[in-house]
Amino acid sequence: MPVSKDPPRPATAATTATMATTASAMTYASTMSQRTIKYGTGKHANVELSPQPSEDPEDPLNWPLWKKHLNLVALLSMVALVGVMKTAYISVNTKIAIEEDVSYTAAVALTGAPLMVSAVAGMASSIIARIWGKRPVYLVSMVMIFMGVVLNTHARGNLAENMAARIFQGLGWGAFDSLVLGSIQDTYFEHEREFIIILHYGVSIGAMLGSPLLGGVASSGPRSFEVQFEIMSAFLSISILLLVFGAPETTYDRVVAFDMEPSTLERSQSPWPTVTYTKEAVMEYLTKMMPWSYQTNNINLPLILQAPRAMIAPTTLLLFTVTLLPYAGLWSLTSSLAMLFSPLPFMLSSADLGALMTAPFILATPVAVILALPLFHWRFTQVVHLTTLVAATVITSIGMLGFGLYLSGAMEMPTNGSATPFSTQWDLGLDRVSLPVASFLLGLLAAGSLALDATIRPVIQRSTAFTSANLTVGLRNTADMHAGLACLRTFITGALIVGIPDGIFEWNGLKAATLGMGVTQIVVTAAVCGVYWYLDENVRRLDGRVMGLIDLSILKRTASYFDESD
C-alpha cells in the first residue's frame, strides 16, 4: 500500500464509539475518504471538526458563536420553565383538594395527567420534527404552554378549568423534553457539545427540583398557586421573544462535498453579533426566522417509524427498566407530600412543604452534574457501568425504604405502654418525626435516581456507535433513544402519581409501597446487571435490528463512519 504524503492528522474530539469501532472507522476513513478535512479555529485549530460541516453559511454548524448561544439560551429558558411548571403543585395539592372539594387523587391528577399527555406529545414531536423540522414544533408547543399558563392564573376553585390549563401545558412540554438534545447536536461540534449538554441537563434537573422551594413560599398567600403562574408568565413572555426571534430552524440536510479543495468558509467565534441597524438587515434577519423553513425530501413509513423504533430498542427498554422505579417513586412520593404532612399532627404550610425538597435539590443536583462530566464517560467501562448501577441502587433503596419505614414506624402507636391512656398517633407524630430526616431520605432517593440516570447517555452512545452506519445516523439515533426513554418514563410516572395516593393514604400503606418498590428495584438491578454482563453485545446487535440499521449493503460503501451522508 502506498505511503501517504499528507502530514499526520491531529486527533479528533472524543467520539462516542467503542475502541474497536473507532479504530476500524479511523482506518477506513484514512484509506477511503477523499475529501478535505476541516478543523476548528482559534484554540481548537488542531481539532478535526465532528461532524464535518458543509460549505453553506446557513448550515447550523457554521453559524456564528453568538447565534448558536442565542438559540441555546432561548431553548434552555423554555426547558427551565417546563421544569418549574411540572413541580408547581407539589406544595399545594392539599389546598387544591380542599378549595375545589375533590379527593387528593383528583388534585395530583393535575400533575400526573399533563405528564402523561406530555409523553405522547413528545413522541409526536419527534416524528413531526423529522418531517417538518423542529422550529414549527417549538412554536406550536410554546403557544400551548402560553395558553395553559394564562388559564392557570385564574383557575383557582375550578377543577375543570385547572385541568384544561394543565393539559395545554402538557401538550407543550413534550417538545422541550424530546427535541432540545437534537437541537444541541444540530448546532454544536463534538468538542463544543459536552459542556452544553451538561448545562442543559443541569438546568432541567435544577429547575424541576428547586422550584418547589420558591413555589411553596409564593403559594402561601390567599391566592395560592395562581401567584406561581403569574410569576411564570412574566418569565414566559421573555422566553417567547427569545424563541420567536432567537431560535431558527436547526434541522439541516448536510451534504459534504467530496473534493480536495480547501474550505474557504470562516466561522465567527465572536460571542456578540455585529449589529447593523438598517431596514435591509432587519428584513434579512426576520426572513431567516420563518416559522417553517424545512421539509424532508421523502416522507415514508421508515422515516415516520424512526423515533418509535428507537423507543422500543432493547437498550432503551433496559434503561427504562432499571431507572423507572426510582424516578417514578421520587415523583409519586414528592407529589404525595402534601397528603402526608398537611393534616394533623404536622399541619405544614405550603412553604414548609416546599422546604422538604431542600435535600433532594442540594444532594441530587450536584450528583447529576458531576456524573455528567466527561471524566465519567471516558472511564465508562463495563465494570464502571455495573458498579454505578449497584451503588446507585443501594443509595436509592436506602432512601426509598428509609422514607417509608421511618415515617410509618414513627407514626405507629407504641406497644410498650409508654403512651398515655387517651393518646393517638397524631399526638406522637410531632415529637417522633424529624422533618429534616424525612427530607434527607428523599434526597438520597433523588441522588440515587439521578446516579442511575447518569448511565443513560454513555450506554446509548455505545449502542449507537455500534449500530449506526455513519455519524449523522448515530447522532439521530442518540436523540431518538433519549426522547423515547423520556416519553416511556414520563408516561408511567404520570400514571403512578395518580394511582399511589390511594395506596399510601395510611401509614401502613406507605410502608408497604416503599418496601415493595425498594425490594423490586434491587431485584431488577440484579437482573439488568446480569444481562449487561453476559449479553451486552447481543443487546446492541438487537438494537440495530429493531431500529432497522442492520444492512449488509453498508459494507460496500466508500465512506467512513465519520462521513455525514445519511
For 281, the grid coordinates are 438587515
Whether pLDDT at 412 is above 80: no
Q: What is the pLDDT of residues 10-40, one digit of tens each?
A: 444 444 334 333 333 343 344 444 567 888 7
pLDDT, position 89: 93
Place of cell 435544577: 206
pLDDT for 263 equals 56
- What's residue 262's pLDDT? 52
Q: pLDDT at position 22, please?
A: 37
Q: Using the predicted structure, report yes or no on whether residue 261 has a pLDDT greater than 60.
A: no
Mean pLDDT in residue range 448-474: 91
More confident: 85 or 270: 85
Burial 13-29 (b: 16+ CB within 10 A, else e): bebbbbeebbeebbebb
Count CA atoms closer than 13 A to 301's CA, side-chain side. 1
Higher pLDDT, 431 or 34: 431
**Residue 433 gets which letter from DSSP?**
-
pLDDT of residue 20: 38
Higher-confidence position of 274 and 252: 252
Query: Per-residue pLDDT tens for 325-372?
Result: 999 999 999 999 999 998 877 888 999 999 999 999 999 999 999 999
Rounded-to-integer distance, Cα 283 and Cα 363, Å: 48
State the average pLDDT for the chain: 85
pLDDT for the residue 2 = 42
**What pLDDT shows up at residue 562?**
52
User: DSSP state, 562?
Assistant: T
Among 43-47, 96-100, 218-222, 508-512, name the one with the lowest average pLDDT. 43-47
Least confidently predicted of 410-414, 422-426, 534-538: 422-426
Band the pLDDT of 555: cuts 50, 70, 90.
very low
Which of the pair, 174 or 101, is modelled with greater confidence? 174
Return the pLDDT at 490.
97
Identify the band that residue 71 occupies on the pLDDT scale cut at 50, 70 and 90: very high
Spatial CB neighbours of 74, under 8 Å, sequence gap ≥ 6: 239, 242, 243, 246, 247
What's the whole-model pTM score? Answer: 0.86
> What is the per-residue pLDDT for 45?
75
What three-state secondary structure class fits 258?
coil
- Other CB atoms within 10 Å distance of the CB of residue 438: 20
The pLDDT value given to residue 3:
42
Reported as half-sphere exposure (CB side, CA atoms, 13 A), residue 486 has a value of 29
Q: What percentage of the chain reaches a pLDDT higher than 90?
A: 59
d(CA 385, CA 379) in angstroms, rounded, equals 9
Q: Find out whether 462 and 15 touch, Cβ atoms under 8 Å.
A: no
pLDDT tens digits, 226-237:
899 999 999 999
Residues 474-532 have pLDDT tens digits of: 899 999 999 999 999 999 999 999 999 988 888 889 999 999 999 999 999 999 999 99
What is the mean pLDDT of the segment spanning 272-279? 63
**Counting Cβ atoms within 10 Å, is residue 378 exposed (0-12), middle (13-18) or buried (19+)?**
exposed
Q: What angle do CA 460, 466, 472 make, to 5 degrees?
A: 80
- Choice among 188-192, 453-457, 556-560 with the minimum mean pLDDT: 556-560
Q: Residue 63: count other Cβ atoms within 10 Å of its Cβ.
A: 22
The model's pLDDT over 118-159, given as tens digits with 9 standing for 90+, comes to: 999 999 999 999 999 999 999 999 999 999 999 999 888 889
- pLDDT for 367 equals 94
Q: How confident is the model at residue 268 (pLDDT cuts 50, 70, 90)?
A: low
- Vertex 66 angle, CA 77 and 144, to 5°: 30
C-alpha span between 205 and 217 (Å, rounded): 20
Are the C-beta atoms of 405 and 514 separated by less than 8 Å?
yes
